[in-house]
Homo-oligomer: A and B are copies of this chain.
Amino acid sequence: MDADIAVVRSYFLDFQSEIVKTLEHLDGGATFSMERIETPNGGFSQPRVLVNGKILEKAAVQFTYSLGKRLPPAASATRPHLSGKSFAATAISTIVHPCNPNIPTTHLNLRMFVVDADPKVWYFGGGFDLTPYLPYEEDFVEWHKFARQACTTDEQYKVLKNQCDEYFFLPHRDECRGIGGLFFDDYVSGGFDKSFQFVVDVGKNFLDGYSSIVQRRRNTEWSLEEEDWMLVRRGRYAEFNLAIDRGTKYGIQSGRRIESVLASLPPRAKWVYGHEIPHDSPQERLMTYLNPGIDWLNLVDNSVNIEES
């Protein structure tokens, strides 16, 4: 099939409904808002947000379809010569901030660009990642098994997993935002049909992987100390999104609808000067996981500590 953004857009709209339904079911109480915002040139977006659920403190599932006169340089990492050309883009993004620190925060983005060059240029981008607050190694291994499953080969998983570690990194903290997942840009591998199928598989494995973790941890009780730790870690999340993330930066600078751009920010966050992590604590153990290069699918002795020498 020829590259067709209408097909992808329609899939993203359906997938938005599916994510919304799944998250509402997982929460078991709260529901998502529904807005449709149209732009004069034929683009439209559908931000859907859930707040103050029993399980989810805030979740945003956003669909966008946009037509632009000039492709921003940030929209293609490897083909700067495309910037400035007119384009169409469609994307879906998801961010979930749970109430319970036993459940990780997660993030998904899938997008397709079609640029009016001669010949036409199209590509996909996106990925997913997980930001846990407590060290459940089995969850992290499982998450990466889903990531591997979304890929065609071990090699592809490794490349996209490393790109994810690299992207979601806070240099000023010398730590990863979370335990990673997949990250890809300028993706055209094997033609449109295969690329699109890959994007569909990434979405499916994201939703299956996150659902599995939420179901496993939703009934685990937590202490105020653990919640406090989650708020401190959410401060790091805000640091990444506001100071480092290219997408947010682009959104802030380009005058996109700011509530949509910043819907990823945590509902609550804390900054504690000189925050210290107790020795031999779960928090300390979590930090050993927030490093790039951990080979989740081949942990020696089932422990990442081995990897860190």
Asked if A117 is at the interface of the complex by the 8 Å CB criterion, the answer is no
Q: Note all chain B residues with C-beta closer than 8 A to A243.
A: 242-243, 248-249, 252
CB pair B274–A259 under 8 Å, yes or no, is yes
Chain A 88-118: CB-based contact to B (< 8 A → 1; otherwise 0): 0000000000000000000000000000000
**Any B CB within 8 A of the CB of A265:** yes
Measured CA separation A259–B236 after assembly (Å): 12
Interface size of A in residues (CB-CB distance below 8 Å): 34
Chain B's closest residue to A245 (CB) is B243
Query: What are the interface flags for A58-70 relative to B under an 8 Å C-beta threshold, 1 for contact and 0 otherwise?
Result: 1010000000000
Complex alpha-carbon distance, A49 and B259, angstroms: 33
Would you call A54 an interface residue if the criterion is a C-beta within 8 Å of the partner chain's C-beta atoms? no
* Interface membership of A270, Cβ < 8 A: yes
Select one of B172, B262, B266, B267 contacting A255, CB under 8 A: B172
B49 touches A273 (CB 8 A): yes
> In whole Å, how far is A300's beta carbon from the nearest beta carbon of chain B?
32
Q: In the complex, A120 Cα to B263 Cα: how many Å?
A: 49
Q: Is A239 an interface residue (CB 8 A)?
A: yes
B173, B261, B266: the one within 8 Å of A258 (CB): B173
User: B242, A259: Cβ atoms under 8 Å?
Assistant: no
Residues of B within 8 A of A231 (CB): 268
In contact, B261 and A49 (Cβ under 8 angstroms): no
User: Across the interface, which residues of B come within 8 angstroms of A255, CB to CB?
Assistant: 172
Question: Do A268 and B270 touch across chains, with their CB atoms under 8 A apart?
Answer: yes
Q: How far is the CB of A45 from chain B (nearest CB, A)?
A: 13
A271 within 8 A of B: yes
Nearest CB of B to A32, in Å? 11
A72 within 8 Å of B (CB atoms): no
Of all A-B residue pairs in the complex, the 4 with the closest CB atoms, nearest first, are A242-B242, A265-B271, A242-B243, A172-B252
Show the binding face of A for B, using Cβ within 8 Å: 49, 51, 58, 60, 171-173, 231, 235, 238-239, 242-243, 248-249, 251-253, 255, 258-259, 261-263, 265-274
22 A/B residue pairs, CB under 8 Å, sorted by A: A49-B274, A51-B272, A58-B273, A60-B273, A172-B251, A172-B252, A172-B255, A173-B258, A231-B268, A235-B265, A238-B238, A238-B242, A238-B271, A239-B242, A239-B262, A243-B248, A243-B249, A265-B271, A266-B271, A267-B271, A268-B268, A269-B269
